[in-house]
Structure 1
């Protein structure tokens, strides 16, 4: 029988408090902003799955190409007995890693970490039923706060894929990478997916597709606020905007008000105004260069050991190892 354990470190009440705090901070700032994690209710998650299949959206295919090619090498180099995935653990990419570790007789346990209890339970159950000789130990938690809840077992590799690292600001990345270092022991591993700096003519369409799916995904955050916080956003009165910030080397997604409007967020007692043309930032997605990524890893006590890209050089998968001390 599959071995399945779920640890709860993040509840629906925690999520509600986090949403309220984020919305209050972001909508009272100048310019206004919201964190991208609030895109992902059930509808938002389904829309993002649609995005990953769009012709313009290369990151999912590019990362998959690398993992398909290098999974056995990753298993050989790391010798990992425990795969920790920050995410739901249900994707094909996860199975490429699990299969490679399994083929080499290494895999003993899989530890998915996700904030959604339902998504985690579904993913963990699916993996447990497919890999019946592997212990599945799910952790319901936030990767920015609960890495210390990862089981302290030997020979771990944390996988943080999909380029999600780019959604963190530089200081947030520093804190996160240090928390990875602190959660693991010397010699253990981080497998990191990172989107690379490239021609804006390739980058921007990936976040502004011709079919308008990303626009719907972007506006979905306003639906979340309307439903969860009693806001009264006129969702269709906002245009989707994606642009390349050359100086910061990142894609930014915004929602631009088509007209002046007043908005109330009832649950927060918050009254807002938007000018015509005013923009609300909903996502930043940093793009990386190899040396810059190596420097950020080094500063957190993680040494870059391997760096692979897809055949077009668009997306990287980096393998880093925990060193005994921070890089300074």
Structure 2
């Protein structure tokens, strides 16, 4: 296993400036990347096991069945997983690919977390010793030109991660990917589909309050970085479907008038009761949205694999 590190050194001061800029903006925001400290990651793991969180129960079987349908296209390819994170999804996918095809694959995970990549790489190497692994420690949104194009490439962007990007970022991402892809390169893209609003909102407002705790934990992360005195109990978790933008939005709403201060900066952050911090978007897609994304990238939609309810889809696109 090889891992190349292309991540720039980002000092704590840069992190602090980013957080302060977001909290001073109108409306106030906190970047969703800060959800995932150790506690946040543990809470998200709990979320994936909740009854209301439908995605894993649909995506995992769909990954398995889709891998069987596309496995001939994986022979002698560079298998590139964008934002690889842990290896749970790629493991399911590879397990459904015949060993004689796996032996011809070189797997290229790309992720900002070197620790996660090393941990996942060791697990995968033990489980699939026949596969070559070449990790790229980088932000895939900025580093697509680092992906070797000496063989056909099969790009994977699992989960519904693309839904967390803004529409502008999604357009930028698809255009860039289309430019990087060579003829006959393929993309398997996970998209969470538009569905009954009650189903969507329940998934982000679970009865045990785990998602609320996950959302509020970002305030503790901010405290750790910029010395603020946020009290999560002063905020209410709010998640709803914004029909105009076809997305679930997560916010933290102040329960009372607040003044948040820090020893690291003189300026105080003022909240009126009802003011919010926007913490995350999760866009949901229609079939038309899928074709629009493909057109943006100059790709052809080869197939759309979905569950029986059409709640989640894996979209195969090809560069012709």
Specify the TM-score bucket, using the shorter chain as the normaliser: over 0.9
Whether the 8 Å CA contact 2:179–2:297 is kept in 1: the answer is: no
Query: Root-mean-square deviation (CA), in Å?
Result: 1.9
User: Out of 260, 264, 271, which is 2:257 matched to?
Assistant: 260
158, 162, 178: which one pairs with 1:161? 158
Q: Assess, with a 3 A threshold, how the Cα gap between structure 1 residues 105 and 134 changes in structure 2: closer, same or farther.
A: same
Distance 1:242 1:5, change over 3 A: same
**Alignment equivalent of 1:47, drawn from 11, 26, 43:** 43
Counterpart Cα distance in 2 of 1:121 and 1:33: 31
How many Å apart are 1:265 and its aligned residue? 4.7
Matched, 1:279 2:289: no
TM-score by length of 1: 0.91
Structure 1 stretches of at least 4 aligned residues deviating more than 4 Å after TM superposition? 15-18, 77-80, 265-270
Q: Which range moves more in the overlay, 264-273 or 303-312?
A: 264-273
Cα–Cα, structure 1 residues 146 and 102, in superposed 2: closer, same or farther, change >3 Å?
farther
State whether residues 149 and 182 of structure 2, in contact with CA within 8 Å, keep that contact through their aligned partners in structure 1.
no
Which string of whole-angstrom CA distances, capped at 9 and with x for unpartnered residues, describes residues 285-321 of structure 1?
1100011111122111122111011122111110111
Q: 1:28/1:321 Cα in 2 relative to 1: closer, same or farther (>3 Å)?
A: same
Unaligned stretches of 5+ in structure 2? none
Contact 1:89 1:124 (8 Å CA) reproduced: no
* Inter-partner Cα distance in structure 2 for 1:270 and 1:319: 49
The number of residue pairs the alignment matches comes to 319
The question of whether the paired residues in 2 share the 8 Å contact of 1:24 and 1:268 is answered with no
Kindly report which structure 2 residues correspond to 1:17-96, keeping only aligned pairs within 5 A, or say none. 19-77=15-73, 79=75, 81-88=77-84, 90-96=86-92
Deviation at 1:220, TM superposition (A): 1.4
Question: 1:80 Cα shift?
Answer: 6.0
2:197 aligned with 1:200: yes
Deviations 1:60-92 (A, max 9, x none): 221112112221112234546221112345333
Q: Which moved more, 1:244-253 or 1:293-302?
A: 293-302
Deviates more, 1:201-210 or 1:228-237: 228-237
Whether contact under 8 Å (1:80, 1:101) holds in the other structure is no
Shift of 1:268: 5.8
Superposition pairs of residues 1-328 of structure 1, within 5 angstroms? 4-11=1-8, 13-14=9-10, 16=12, 19-77=15-73, 79=75, 81-88=77-84, 90-106=86-102, 107-267=104-264, 270-323=267-320
State TM-score, norm by structure 2: 0.93
